[in-house]
Amino acid sequence: MSDEASFLAGYDPGDYPSIAVTVDVVALTIRDGALCVLLVERGEQPFTGHRALPGGFVREETLDEAALRELAEETDVRLAGDRVHLEQLRTYGNPGRDPRMRVVSVAYLAFAPHLPEATAGSDAARAYWVPVEDAKDLAFDHDQILAEGLERARDKLEYTPLATAFVGTEFTISELRQVYASVWGEELHAGNFHRKVLSVPGFVESTGETASRGGERGGPRAKLYRAGDARLLHPALLRPTREDRVR
Amino acid sequence: MSDEASFLAGYDPGDYPSIAVTVDVVALTIRDGALCVLLVERGEQPFTGHRALPGGFVREETLDEAALRELAEETDVRLAGDRVHLEQLRTYGNPGRDPRMRVVSVAYLAFAPHLPEATAGSDAARAYWVPVEDAKDLAFDHDQILAEGLERARDKLEYTPLATAFVGTEFTISELRQVYASVWGEELHAGNFHRKVLSVPGFVESTGETASRGGERGGPRAKLYRAGDARLLHPALLRPTREDRVR
DNA sequence: CTTGTCCTTCTCAACTTGAGTAGATCTCGA
DNA sequence: TCGAGATCTACTCAAGTTGAGAAGGACAAG
């Protein structure tokens, strides 16, 4: 602390507890039609044996890089750097959220298409995908972080092309509809969904190709699409059940 | 390092640079029909003489409390604690954003009805309201933070009752429309705006009262309303010019 | 008193939405 | 091999929403 002395003009180190900065990642994917979140098993105190969101200390790197790194350490590096959509969620810094010291955690949301089974990270923490409805009693304030991450994801599905981050580079309208259904937890009218997706400029663009086979239980081969260049959906795809969310 | 527990178990302080945590506040209000942001004049290195967003180090308090405290130190304590709407914007932590040391800053957005002229804070920094289009060349990465704060505010006006945070507890539909016009920078069709605001459940509720006088340049006395209990607007008030924002 | 402003309510055509229907195409199992 | 059932895609239609404009009154300023 030499240069910063002027910045702190009158700053007494004793007044300000040292603060650790971490990132925590709410990584979401869809497996077998269920929205799942990546959790790690804690081996250390506190919350030993509890599950937690993957995360760790920020090093000499940007916050985004720290989040990607933590994610890569728990899953597959190549995938994490490649196809994952990453965005900041919110920062949690209440005193006492970590019983040992003051920790300010920058939480991230990550969305990925169906990933292979998570592999243990370099430090041998056990990591696995868990359906979000089974992800309870997490360590620290991670229940709250997860809840806010899910809320954000459900909202962003309405007015951004986020759903395309959950499917491969080529997909059918039905696959996209199943993403919405999984994240929102409710079925959508197939005909109307089809009409809306195709009417939003830049949401999807046709590849001209057709799926190699029909649906699992029958039906014609669907046309294939890829993500368009829109960053906002206009008009938005509003979820059917909104009344509860309004007040 | 997969989670915070590693901090005590085997953490080598030399591996991780110490990180300072600050809050910066993008405080917005409307003065004379112009959207204004609160800026302070920097007296110290670096960026001496430049303007910056109000902010400072986080103490033994929540992040929200830190933001409110910094705001109160620059303006009026009572107002700041009372009628200000406060929400987290994003956290900025790129190495090098502060030339002296690693600083992670949690940025906040604050919205307030017309406030009295800002007063110099306890640390005698000069603070004043500046029309947002005149707020350029700010210190650090504050230009970017301000830009993202404005974008967020413009978006939230569409689907939340945020506009009511810029007016008093009782207001006319026209006052509300002028808030939208100031923040979005474009005029709105008065008749359609009126119809939409009244048709959104929970956006505003009538007080039964009428303004004490007509408009400044004539016109009948308008009915008075107060904010309703809605937290989301449905249907939303979409801004007219959207095409540019979509891609 | 006159002029012009502005609040509030209507009207209307264009568009969007939800719900349902229908034909064609495909998978699966008998 | 064939039939039953599922699915993709395109329509239809009524109900609701939107943007643009017009109109009637109420009011301030000169």
Same domain for B134 and B235, yes or no, is: no
Same structural domain, B28 and B74: yes
In a domain, B1, yes or no: no
Are B101 and B167 in the same domain?
no
pLDDT tens column, B123-145: 545 788 999 999 999 999 999 99
Per-residue flag: B243 CB under 7 A of strand D? no
The per-residue pLDDT for range A115-154, each reduced to its tens digit, is 655 555 545 457 889 999 999 999 999 999 999 999 999 9
Backbone phi and psi for residue A183, each to the nearest 5 degrees, phi listed first: -75, -40
A39 and A120 in a single domain? The answer is yes
On whether both A137 and A225 belong to a single domain, the answer is no
Q: Which residues pair with A86 in a beta bridge?
A: A110
Between CA A122 and CA A130, with CA A125 as vertex, the angle to 5 degrees is 120
- A180 and A218 within one domain: yes
| Per-residue CB contacts under 7 A with strand D, chain B residues 216-235 | 216-221, 235
User: Same structural domain for residues B129 and B207?
Assistant: no
Nucleotide with the nearest C1' to A194 CA: D9
Average pLDDT value for chain A: 87
Whether residue B164 sits in one domain with residue B139: no
Same domain assignment for residues A135 and A180: no
Domain residues for the domain of B223 are 160-246
What pLDDT was estimated at residue A16? 58
Residue B197 lies in a domain: yes
CA distance B99 to B103: 9
With CA atoms as reference, report the closest residue to A27 among A79, A69, A81, A84. A84
The token duo for B8 is 């005590």
Domain CATH number, residue A53: 3.90.79.10
List strand D contacts in A 16-75 (CB < 7 A). Answer: none
- Residue B9 maps to a domain: no
- Does residue A155 belong to any structural domain of this protein? no
User: What's the whole-model pTM score?
Assistant: 0.91
Which of B135, B156, B177 is a domain's end point?
B156
Closest approach of A14 to chain B, Cα-based (Å): 10
Structure-token match 């509300």, residue found: B176
User: Per-residue pLDDT tens for A166-197?
Assistant: 999 999 999 999 999 999 999 999 999 999 99
What's the domain count of chain A? 2
B-proximal residues of A, 158-187, CB under 8 Å: none
> From CA B68, how far away is CA B111, in angstroms rounded?
12
Q: Given B102, B130, B156, which residue is the final one in a domain?
A: B156
Q: What are the pLDDT tens digits along chain A (247 aa)?
A: 333 433 443 444 445 568 999 999 999 999 989 999 999 998 888 899 999 999 999 999 999 999 999 988 877 645 555 678 999 999 999 999 999 999 999 999 999 887 655 555 545 457 889 999 999 999 999 999 999 999 999 999 999 999 999 999 999 999 999 999 999 999 999 999 999 999 999 999 999 999 998 888 999 999 999 999 999 999 999 998 755 455 5
Looking at the structure, tell me whether residues B33 and B139 fall in a common domain.
yes
Same domain, A165 and A234: yes
CB contact (8 A) between residue A18 and residue B18: yes
B71-130 pLDDT, tens digit each: 888 776 455 556 789 999 999 999 999 999 999 999 999 998 876 665 555 454 578 899
Residue B241 lies in a domain: yes
Is the domain of B48 the same as that of B129?
A: yes
Q: Does the beta carbon of A145 lie under 8 angstroms from any beta carbon of chain B?
A: no
Protein-to-nucleotide distance from the CA of A215 to the C1' of C28, whole angstroms: 11
Task: Give start and end residues of each alpha helix (H) in B75-131.
Answer: 77-82
Strand C proximal to B178 Cβ, under 7 A? no
Task: Give the domain-ending residue among B88, B122, B156.
Answer: B156
The answer to whether residue B205 neighbours chain A at the CB level (below 8 Å) is: no
In a domain, A204, yes or no: yes
